[in-house]
Amino acid sequence: MGSEAPTSDPATPTLYEWAGGYEAFETLVKRFYELVLADDVLYPLFKDMDHDHPKHVAVWLSEVFGGSDGYTREHGGYDNMVAHHVGKAITETQRRRWVNLLIDAADEVGLPADPEFRAAFMGYVEWGTRLALENSQPDASPAPHAAVPHWGWGVAPPYRP
């Protein structure tokens, strides 16, 4: 999974904190699913999604990037997330569109655009969407009972002039 910040400096914020906390992820996901539902490639996958799905994804992303363990406590953790992808037969075109729309939404809502944050954020997005694609195939055997990933800064901690 993602690496932790290479520094032991306790003043280094988590990606969650750097992004702006839960509100930032909730705003991101709300805009993202507006784009998804207007998209001809992704609409078929999401047209019947539960009304609370975007909020659940915001809780997931918050936990992944260093916020509370709300997804694990309230929504079933990794096993539940994987269950939402099993049997969906996501295509590479759909995965790529998902990534592109998430980037568009991140830009639109003002998620931090510094290279260090975006490199870490996109590292997770690439990893997570490729895993979702793999786990969605008819012959998939997802890893059982894995932990929710905890994504850190990777190679470059936040730049502070």
| pLDDT of residue 83 exceeding 60 | yes
Q: CA-to-CA distance for 33 and 29, rounded, in angstroms?
A: 6
> Taking a C-beta distance cutoff of 8 angstroms, is the pair 160, 7 a contact?
no
pLDDT, position 63: 95
Domains of the chain listed by start with CATH number: 15-135 (1.10.490.10)
> Taking a C-beta distance cutoff of 8 angstroms, is the pair 6, 155 a contact?
yes
pLDDT, position 4: 42
Averaged over 74-89, what is the pLDDT?
84
Where residue 11 falls among pLDDT bands split at 50, 70, 90? confident
Angle between helices 53-64 and 22-37 (to 10 degrees): 130
The per-residue pLDDT of the chain, averaged, comes to 89
Angle at 121 between CA 29 and CA 123, to 5 degrees: 125
Token pair of 143, please?
């890893």
Q: DSSP E strands: which ranges in 61-105?
A: none
Q: What is the dihedral of CA 104, 106, 110, 116, to 10 degrees?
A: -120
140 or 79, which is more confident?
140
Q: CA-to-CA distance for 114 and 55, rounded, in angstroms?
A: 25
Averaged over 141-158, what is the pLDDT?
81
| pLDDT of residue 7 exceeding 60 | no
66-75 pLDDT per residue, tens: 999 989 899 8
